[in-house]
Structure 1
């Protein structure tokens, strides 16, 4: 019996949240200087303050979490200047939003900052090595650009452990299509986001592993996790996948 491993990349293979948190706090400090107003002094509280606005914008914007970072800078400025979060989000996500250059430098610096190489998460190299040695194909499924994902995989020397990188909006239909293309055998999906990585994959007939990271959007907090296996390191997937492929795992 064959097995096929699909895995998310950001916050699953590598800890993108650490890089984003640093970049977001840098943006917040920059917007504070622009407005002359300050967010909560504690960095954790500052990050929570920022991410409340970030997630609200993502909820309303058609590009979801991939909306232009300048909108976050503008939303932060509005809230720091006294506008309620709901009103600020409505303004920056309005289809007739007037373009402004005031936050372009903050956006450019943010985009530069998130290009930093994020560290691998626990057990990633070990897990991918074990699965690859068993000749089980490994596909990365990401909503990010495939080029960016390939760059990080290369810098972490994971190239030889990845068969394909697929950039696609993660929906039930997308997973069903991936499963159909994989052919016979059991399909596994590993990810850190309940809605995009787990629920949609389960609906398409995947077996899933939920590998929570440092960031979980508020809208996914109430989703049912009873049909997935929660893991605390990536290589915890290995025994079940090798068993599904009828390969005995040996150290």
Structure 2
């Protein structure tokens, strides 16, 4: 049976557009700079140098956040250079997790990647040029400036939201609720026409907690023309059980969970993370919401 809400609250990253793919391209650009022309050369231990963005993503989890969406990019580049050096650290040196931890610890300690002694003859390991970390970080930033592509069904959903709002502007409202960095989101907004009020009455950029969801719902209640504003029916659509579904459930919202590539299809760890609906694609939201 279709749901007839007074308000729709949509997540942005990896719900409407494929932010994960954009970050993969950015990590790949960083790796290419660090590997230079020798990217396919075998490591001293017989393994190939860093070839996938997966390792770079996991390295980022071992480094402190710079206050934005992850670690300082030059630190991340140096950690990757340590990882790619072929050296090991700790008693479990043969285990990749240990190597990830060791590489991040070198950066935390303020060390430079190995092999940067200019007096040393012969070919230097990747990352030994101290300016290369800066170049790798810039390559990451440049790749990240490309607008992320809309996910399957997102364009249809946005058009549906637009028509749904226009039909009853006094009783229907829509909100984009994101934790993303404003400068990066602005790229997506410009590319997909999000910021001009075409699809959303409000854009909220805050950490997602039950309290912030309550604030959003309170604002929605004041925006729609209902005898009892607190009775507004709010539907939330997101790709993360922890970041979207759990805090929305705590606020009494109807929740639509649409798994994406970043987190995969998660399993609820508690009743608080159980969505009301699980979608295969955003096209299914059109049917559930009768848009």
**Helix, strand or coil for the counterpart of 2:62?**
helix
Q: Say if 1:143 and 1:169, in contact at 8 Å, map to a contact too.
A: yes
Q: How has the CA–CA distance of structure 1 residues 177 and 108 changed in structure 2, closer, same or farther, with 3 Å as cutoff?
A: same
Aligned length: 237
Corresponding position of 2:247: 200
Give the CA deviation at 1:113: 0.7
Task: Mark the runs of 5 or more structure 2 residues left unpaired by the alignment.
Answer: 89-98, 113-129, 166-171, 222-228
Q: Say if 1:192 and 1:213, in contact at 8 Å, map to a contact too.
A: yes
- Could you state the TM-score of these two structures normalised by the residue count of structure 1? 0.78
Which shows bigger deviation, 32-41 or 78-87?
A: 32-41
CA-based RMSD of the aligned residues comes to 3.3
Is 1:117 paired with 2:123? no
Task: State the Cα deviation string for residues 9-28 of structure 1 (Å, max 9, x = none).
Answer: 12111112222111111211
Q: How has the CA–CA distance of structure 1 residues 200 and 98 changed in structure 2, closer, same or farther, with 3 Å as cutoff?
A: farther
Alignment equivalent of 1:23, drawn from 14, 23, 26 = 26
Corresponding position of 1:55: 61
Q: Distance in 2 between matches of 1:38 and 1:103?
A: 21
Q: Say if 2:239 and 2:260, in contact at 8 Å, map to a contact too.
A: yes
Give the CA deviation at 1:4: 1.3
Alignment equivalent of 1:172, drawn from 181, 200, 210 = 210
- Could you state the TM-score of these two structures normalised by the residue count of structure 2? 0.68
Compare the two structures and name the one with the higher helix fraction.
Answer: 1
Task: Mark the runs of 5 or more structure 1 residues left unpaired by the alignment.
Answer: 243-248
Q: Say if 2:69 and 2:180, in contact at 8 Å, map to a contact too.
A: no
Q: How has the CA–CA distance of structure 1 residues 74 and 201 changed in structure 2, closer, same or farther, with 3 Å as cutoff?
A: farther
Task: State the Cα deviation string for residues 218-249 of structure 1 (Å, max 9, x = none).
Answer: xx77745533422122232234335xxxxxx5
Structure of larger gyration radius: 2
Q: Say if 1:55 and 1:65, in contact at 8 Å, map to a contact too.
A: no
Alignment equivalent of 1:76, drawn from 60, 77, 80 = 80
Give the CA deviation at 1:55: 3.0
Q: Say if 1:142 and 1:167, in contact at 8 Å, map to a contact too.
A: yes
Corresponding position of 2:237: 190
**Helix, strand or coil for the counterpart of 2:53?**
helix
Corresponding position of 2:256: 209
**Helix, strand or coil for the counterpart of 1:202?**
helix
